[in-house]
Structure 1
């Protein structure tokens, strides 16, 4: 069973982007049982159209992408060079560890469920 802390899946995939040594984790198409176990259906929802959004995570955030396509470009600090990119989209569970700084490049409008974990 895949773990929510797993790196980007797929053999030969580049390592996930890192910001201050923190890896963004993508779990591709987790089984429905995993989503139920996490309580994804009860999480708040968010949606956004194509464009760019700069984000900084003060708490760990887990997102389940219902629809859309995003490339997240991580950086150690705002305005600093990129440290990597990861793509995710419909059906993916994505974990942004606390302290992550990245810019979402939304290619296809996104609908998602999300939860914050302050630990």
Structure 2
């Protein structure tokens, strides 16, 4: 039985790259399950990336406001997100977050 091939949608907004619903195969290739985990309750967190971060949200919903922009990027559970080195932003966590992450 042939399975349908899913192509995940990749978008880039305000320097943040979001891959919506990557395949299990893609997550396996990246080794996501071996990455450390981090979580937090609904809150507002200022953050600056000293290195590029790739994260995969297991649960939660977040809006990220890059410094100097009135616009935001929204993502949540099932999204693979890449933040560029040097970005300063504020995370607005709307629904408790649980994620795997790695820094390059």
* TM-score bracket for the superposition, by shorter chain length: 0.7 to 0.9
The C-alpha deviation readout for 1:25-63, integer Å capped at 9, x for no partner, is: 110000000000000000000000001000100100000
Aligned pair count?
Answer: 98
- What TM-score do the two structures reach when normalised by structure 2? 0.88
Q: Which runs of 5+ in 2 are unaligned?
A: 1-6
Q: Rate the CA distance shift 1:100–1:83 in 2: closer, same or farther, 3 A.
A: farther
Q: Does 1:101 align with 2:88?
A: yes
Report matched runs for 1:102-117 at 5 Å: 102-117=89-104
- What TM-score do the two structures reach when normalised by structure 1? 0.77
- The answer to whether the 8 A contact 2:62-2:92 is kept is yes
CA drift at 1:83: 5.1
Where has structure 1 moved over 3 Å in runs of 4 or more? none
CA RMSD of aligned residues (A): 1.5
Structure (1/2) with the larger strand percentage? 2
Q: Which runs of 5+ in 1 are unaligned?
A: 9-15, 18-22, 76-80
